Amino acid sequence: MRESGEIQALITLLGDDDTHVREVARERLLQIGEPATAFLHAAGHTDGDGKVRIQAQNVLAQIRQDDLISSFYLLSLLDDEQIDLEEAAFLLARFGYPHLDVTPYRQELDRLANHVAQLIKGLSPDREPARILRYMNQIIFEQEGFSGNIEDYYDPDNSFLNCVLERRTGIPITLSIIYLVLARRLRLPIRGINLPIHFICEYYAPPRSLYFDPFHKGRTLTRADCVMLLQQARLPFQESCLDPARPRNIIARMIRNLLFIYHHHDDHDKTETLGRVLNMFEPA
Protein backbone atom coordinates (compact mmCIF):
# COMPACT_ATOMS: atom_id res chain seq x y z
CA MET A 1 0.00 0.00 0.00
CA ARG A 2 2.84 2.35 0.87
CA GLU A 3 4.48 1.74 -2.51
CA SER A 4 1.27 2.36 -4.46
CA GLY A 5 0.75 5.61 -2.57
CA GLU A 6 4.31 6.66 -3.34
CA ILE A 7 3.87 5.79 -7.02
CA GLN A 8 0.67 7.83 -7.28
CA ALA A 9 2.37 10.79 -5.60
CA LEU A 10 5.38 10.55 -7.89
CA ILE A 11 3.16 10.45 -10.98
CA THR A 12 1.41 13.62 -9.79
CA LEU A 13 4.83 15.27 -9.41
CA LEU A 14 5.56 14.54 -13.07
CA GLY A 15 3.35 17.56 -13.80
CA ASP A 16 5.09 19.88 -11.31
CA ASP A 17 6.23 23.26 -12.56
CA ASP A 18 9.69 22.72 -11.07
CA THR A 19 11.95 20.89 -13.53
CA HIS A 20 14.07 19.44 -10.73
CA VAL A 21 11.02 18.01 -8.97
CA ARG A 22 9.84 16.42 -12.21
CA GLU A 23 13.25 14.87 -12.83
CA VAL A 24 13.51 13.47 -9.28
CA ALA A 25 10.04 11.93 -9.65
CA ARG A 26 10.96 10.46 -13.01
CA GLU A 27 14.19 8.89 -11.72
CA ARG A 28 12.42 7.39 -8.71
CA LEU A 29 9.70 5.87 -10.94
CA LEU A 30 12.41 4.38 -13.16
CA GLN A 31 14.01 2.84 -10.06
CA ILE A 32 10.69 1.32 -9.00
CA GLY A 33 10.27 -0.11 -12.51
CA GLU A 34 7.69 -2.81 -13.23
CA PRO A 35 5.48 -2.23 -10.14
CA ALA A 36 4.85 1.31 -11.42
CA THR A 37 3.81 0.32 -14.93
CA ALA A 38 0.10 -0.24 -14.27
CA PHE A 39 -0.19 3.17 -12.57
CA LEU A 40 1.78 4.88 -15.34
CA HIS A 41 -0.35 3.21 -18.00
CA ALA A 42 -3.52 4.46 -16.29
CA ALA A 43 -2.10 7.98 -15.93
CA GLY A 44 -1.04 7.98 -19.56
CA HIS A 45 -4.56 7.23 -20.76
CA THR A 46 -6.67 9.56 -18.63
CA ASP A 47 -8.16 12.94 -19.47
CA GLY A 48 -6.34 14.60 -16.60
CA ASP A 49 -3.34 16.92 -16.67
CA GLY A 50 -1.82 16.80 -20.16
CA LYS A 51 1.71 17.27 -18.83
CA VAL A 52 1.33 14.34 -16.43
CA ARG A 53 -0.14 12.19 -19.18
CA ILE A 54 2.75 12.81 -21.55
CA GLN A 55 5.41 12.37 -18.88
CA ALA A 56 3.77 9.14 -17.65
CA GLN A 57 3.78 7.74 -21.17
CA ASN A 58 7.47 8.63 -21.54
CA VAL A 59 8.46 7.04 -18.23
CA LEU A 60 6.43 3.92 -19.03
CA ALA A 61 8.14 3.60 -22.42
CA GLN A 62 11.56 3.91 -20.75
CA ILE A 63 10.75 1.21 -18.17
CA ARG A 64 9.51 -1.12 -20.92
CA GLN A 65 12.65 -0.51 -22.95
CA ASP A 66 14.99 -1.06 -20.00
CA ASP A 67 13.15 -4.28 -19.14
CA LEU A 68 13.38 -5.45 -22.74
CA ILE A 69 17.12 -4.78 -22.94
CA SER A 70 17.62 -6.64 -19.65
CA SER A 71 15.64 -9.61 -21.00
CA PHE A 72 17.81 -9.73 -24.12
CA TYR A 73 20.95 -9.50 -22.02
CA LEU A 74 19.88 -12.54 -20.01
CA LEU A 75 19.00 -14.32 -23.26
CA SER A 76 22.43 -13.57 -24.70
CA LEU A 77 24.09 -15.32 -21.75
CA LEU A 78 22.45 -18.65 -22.62
CA ASP A 79 24.04 -21.38 -24.70
CA ASP A 80 22.39 -22.03 -28.06
CA GLU A 81 20.69 -25.21 -26.90
CA GLN A 82 19.11 -23.21 -24.07
CA ILE A 83 17.65 -20.47 -26.28
CA ASP A 84 13.97 -20.89 -27.07
CA LEU A 85 13.62 -19.47 -30.59
CA GLU A 86 9.88 -18.88 -30.23
CA GLU A 87 10.30 -17.02 -26.95
CA ALA A 88 13.15 -14.94 -28.41
CA ALA A 89 11.11 -14.05 -31.52
CA PHE A 90 8.20 -12.84 -29.39
CA LEU A 91 10.64 -10.92 -27.21
CA LEU A 92 11.92 -9.13 -30.29
CA ALA A 93 8.33 -8.31 -31.27
CA ARG A 94 8.09 -6.20 -28.11
CA PHE A 95 10.28 -3.60 -29.81
CA GLY A 96 7.30 -2.83 -32.00
CA TYR A 97 4.57 -3.85 -29.55
CA PRO A 98 5.68 -3.17 -25.95
CA HIS A 99 2.44 -4.42 -24.37
CA LEU A 100 2.32 -7.62 -26.43
CA ASP A 101 0.43 -10.54 -24.89
CA VAL A 102 1.85 -13.63 -26.58
CA THR A 103 -0.79 -16.05 -25.27
CA PRO A 104 -3.19 -15.86 -28.25
CA TYR A 105 -0.30 -16.21 -30.71
CA ARG A 106 1.04 -19.30 -28.97
CA GLN A 107 -2.48 -20.71 -29.06
CA GLU A 108 -2.64 -20.00 -32.79
CA LEU A 109 0.63 -21.86 -33.32
CA ASP A 110 -0.74 -24.76 -31.29
CA ARG A 111 -3.82 -24.79 -33.51
CA LEU A 112 -1.75 -24.83 -36.69
CA ALA A 113 0.45 -27.61 -35.31
CA ASN A 114 -2.59 -29.69 -34.38
CA HIS A 115 -3.98 -29.23 -37.87
CA VAL A 116 -0.73 -30.44 -39.43
CA ALA A 117 -0.54 -33.33 -36.96
CA GLN A 118 -3.92 -34.62 -38.14
CA LEU A 119 -2.79 -34.70 -41.78
CA ILE A 120 0.61 -36.30 -41.23
CA LYS A 121 -0.57 -38.89 -38.71
CA GLY A 122 0.93 -42.24 -39.61
CA LEU A 123 3.64 -40.81 -41.87
CA SER A 124 7.28 -41.51 -41.10
CA PRO A 125 9.25 -38.30 -40.40
CA ASP A 126 12.46 -40.04 -41.55
CA ARG A 127 11.18 -41.72 -44.71
CA GLU A 128 8.49 -39.37 -46.02
CA PRO A 129 9.78 -35.78 -45.76
CA ALA A 130 8.36 -34.77 -49.16
CA ARG A 131 4.82 -35.81 -48.23
CA ILE A 132 5.03 -34.17 -44.83
CA LEU A 133 6.27 -30.91 -46.35
CA ARG A 134 3.52 -31.05 -48.94
CA TYR A 135 0.90 -31.26 -46.19
CA MET A 136 2.56 -28.47 -44.20
CA ASN A 137 2.62 -26.25 -47.28
CA GLN A 138 -1.01 -27.08 -47.98
CA ILE A 139 -2.09 -25.93 -44.55
CA ILE A 140 0.19 -22.92 -44.20
CA PHE A 141 -0.27 -21.46 -47.67
CA GLU A 142 -3.43 -22.88 -49.22
CA GLN A 143 -5.69 -23.20 -46.20
CA GLU A 144 -4.32 -20.54 -43.86
CA GLY A 145 -3.30 -18.02 -46.54
CA PHE A 146 0.28 -17.23 -45.54
CA SER A 147 2.45 -15.59 -48.21
CA GLY A 148 5.69 -13.72 -48.71
CA ASN A 149 5.23 -9.95 -48.46
CA ILE A 150 6.60 -8.94 -51.83
CA GLU A 151 4.66 -5.66 -52.01
CA ASP A 152 6.00 -4.18 -48.75
CA TYR A 153 9.09 -6.24 -48.00
CA TYR A 154 10.71 -3.61 -45.74
CA ASP A 155 7.72 -3.09 -43.44
CA PRO A 156 9.11 -3.67 -39.91
CA ASP A 157 5.97 -5.66 -39.05
CA ASN A 158 7.29 -8.40 -41.33
CA SER A 159 9.91 -9.06 -38.64
CA PHE A 160 7.47 -9.36 -35.74
CA LEU A 161 6.08 -12.86 -35.25
CA ASN A 162 2.76 -11.61 -33.85
CA CYS A 163 2.18 -9.53 -36.99
CA VAL A 164 3.15 -12.41 -39.28
CA LEU A 165 0.53 -14.58 -37.57
CA GLU A 166 -2.10 -11.82 -37.71
CA ARG A 167 -1.52 -10.61 -41.26
CA ARG A 168 -0.48 -13.98 -42.70
CA THR A 169 2.52 -12.43 -44.44
CA GLY A 170 6.22 -11.97 -43.73
CA ILE A 171 9.77 -12.17 -45.01
CA PRO A 172 11.89 -15.32 -45.51
CA ILE A 173 13.21 -15.52 -41.96
CA THR A 174 9.89 -15.01 -40.16
CA LEU A 175 8.01 -17.39 -42.43
CA SER A 176 10.81 -19.87 -41.79
CA ILE A 177 10.31 -19.39 -38.05
CA ILE A 178 6.68 -20.44 -38.50
CA TYR A 179 7.96 -23.76 -39.86
CA LEU A 180 10.58 -24.08 -37.14
CA VAL A 181 8.22 -23.51 -34.22
CA LEU A 182 5.62 -25.84 -35.74
CA ALA A 183 8.31 -28.46 -36.33
CA ARG A 184 9.32 -28.25 -32.69
CA ARG A 185 5.75 -28.97 -31.60
CA LEU A 186 5.49 -31.83 -34.09
CA ARG A 187 9.01 -33.19 -33.44
CA LEU A 188 9.95 -32.89 -37.09
CA PRO A 189 13.64 -32.53 -38.11
CA ILE A 190 13.32 -29.09 -39.73
CA ARG A 191 16.09 -26.56 -39.22
CA GLY A 192 16.88 -23.07 -40.45
CA ILE A 193 19.58 -22.39 -43.02
CA ASN A 194 21.21 -18.99 -42.74
CA LEU A 195 21.76 -18.61 -46.48
CA PRO A 196 23.04 -15.09 -47.24
CA ILE A 197 20.42 -12.84 -48.85
CA HIS A 198 17.59 -15.38 -48.46
CA PHE A 199 16.89 -17.44 -45.34
CA ILE A 200 15.57 -20.95 -46.07
CA CYS A 201 14.87 -24.21 -44.24
CA GLU A 202 15.98 -27.81 -44.47
CA TYR A 203 14.02 -30.92 -43.68
CA TYR A 204 16.96 -32.92 -42.36
CA ALA A 205 16.40 -36.65 -42.83
CA PRO A 206 19.43 -38.09 -44.68
CA PRO A 207 19.48 -39.35 -47.33
CA ARG A 208 16.09 -37.76 -48.08
CA SER A 209 16.89 -34.26 -46.78
CA LEU A 210 15.21 -31.40 -48.61
CA TYR A 211 15.92 -27.68 -48.75
CA PHE A 212 12.80 -25.55 -49.10
CA ASP A 213 11.83 -21.89 -49.33
CA PRO A 214 9.03 -20.70 -47.00
CA PHE A 215 8.94 -17.28 -48.69
CA HIS A 216 7.89 -18.92 -51.97
CA LYS A 217 5.18 -21.22 -50.62
CA GLY A 218 7.58 -23.89 -49.43
CA ARG A 219 8.97 -24.80 -52.86
CA THR A 220 11.82 -27.30 -52.68
CA LEU A 221 15.34 -26.27 -53.61
CA THR A 222 18.33 -28.24 -54.79
CA ARG A 223 21.86 -27.41 -53.75
CA ALA A 224 22.31 -25.95 -57.25
CA ASP A 225 19.31 -23.68 -56.66
CA CYS A 226 20.94 -22.37 -53.49
CA VAL A 227 24.18 -21.70 -55.34
CA MET A 228 22.26 -19.86 -58.06
CA LEU A 229 20.51 -17.64 -55.50
CA LEU A 230 23.89 -16.42 -54.32
CA GLN A 231 25.28 -16.06 -57.82
CA GLN A 232 22.33 -13.89 -58.79
CA ALA A 233 23.20 -11.64 -55.86
CA ARG A 234 26.89 -11.73 -56.92
CA LEU A 235 27.90 -13.46 -53.72
CA PRO A 236 30.36 -16.35 -53.48
CA PHE A 237 29.08 -19.75 -52.42
CA GLN A 238 30.78 -21.68 -49.65
CA GLU A 239 29.67 -24.95 -48.11
CA SER A 240 29.22 -23.11 -44.80
CA CYS A 241 26.37 -21.15 -46.43
CA LEU A 242 24.23 -24.29 -46.01
CA ASP A 243 25.15 -24.90 -42.36
CA PRO A 244 22.21 -25.07 -39.96
CA ALA A 245 21.47 -21.77 -38.25
CA ARG A 246 21.74 -21.63 -34.48
CA PRO A 247 18.99 -19.76 -32.59
CA ARG A 248 21.52 -17.02 -31.80
CA ASN A 249 22.25 -16.61 -35.53
CA ILE A 250 18.56 -16.39 -36.36
CA ILE A 251 17.78 -13.73 -33.76
CA ALA A 252 20.87 -11.71 -34.70
CA ARG A 253 19.80 -11.77 -38.34
CA MET A 254 16.31 -10.57 -37.43
CA ILE A 255 17.83 -7.73 -35.41
CA ARG A 256 20.05 -6.74 -38.34
CA ASN A 257 17.01 -6.69 -40.62
CA LEU A 258 15.23 -4.32 -38.25
CA LEU A 259 18.34 -2.18 -37.83
CA PHE A 260 18.50 -1.74 -41.60
CA ILE A 261 14.82 -0.78 -41.78
CA TYR A 262 14.83 1.66 -38.84
CA HIS A 263 18.06 3.24 -40.05
CA HIS A 264 16.43 4.06 -43.38
CA HIS A 265 13.35 5.33 -41.53
CA ASP A 266 15.64 7.64 -39.51
CA ASP A 267 14.31 6.15 -36.28
CA HIS A 268 17.40 6.84 -34.21
CA ASP A 269 16.02 5.65 -30.87
CA LYS A 270 15.14 2.18 -32.16
CA THR A 271 18.37 2.00 -34.16
CA GLU A 272 20.45 2.78 -31.07
CA THR A 273 18.55 0.33 -28.87
CA LEU A 274 18.67 -2.51 -31.39
CA GLY A 275 22.37 -1.83 -31.93
CA ARG A 276 22.97 -2.37 -28.22
CA VAL A 277 21.01 -5.61 -28.30
CA LEU A 278 22.81 -6.88 -31.41
CA ASN A 279 26.14 -6.24 -29.71
CA MET A 280 25.06 -8.59 -26.92
CA PHE A 281 24.62 -11.38 -29.45
CA GLU A 282 27.50 -10.45 -31.75
CA PRO A 283 30.09 -8.44 -29.80
CA ALA A 284 32.12 -6.19 -32.05
What domains lie within the chain, and their CATH numbers? 2-77 (1.25.10.10), 81-281 (no CATH)
Computed from CA positions of residues 28, 68, 80, 284, in that sequence, does the dihedral angle turn out positive or negative? negative
CA dist 122 and 89 (Å) reads 31
Q: Is the pLDDT of residue 166 over 90?
A: yes
Lowest mean pLDDT among 54-58, 76-80, 253-257: 54-58
CA distance 191 to 254: 16
In sequence order, the 6+-apart residues with CB closer than 8 A to the CB of 28 are: 6, 10
Mean of the pLDDT values across residues 160-182? 98
Distance, in Å, from the CA atom of 250 to the CA atom of 119, rounded to the nearest integer, reads 29
Mean pLDDT of the 172-186 span: 98
| pTM of the complete model | 0.85
pLDDT over 60 at 174, yes or no? yes
With beta carbons less than 8 A apart as the criterion, state whether 181 and 168 touch: no
Which parts of the chain fold into alpha helices (H)? 2-13, 19-32, 37-43, 50-76, 85-93, 103-120, 129-137, 161-167, 172-186, 223-232, 247-264, 268-281
Q: For 26-50, what is each residue's pLDDT tens digit?
A: 888 888 888 888 888 888 877 666 8
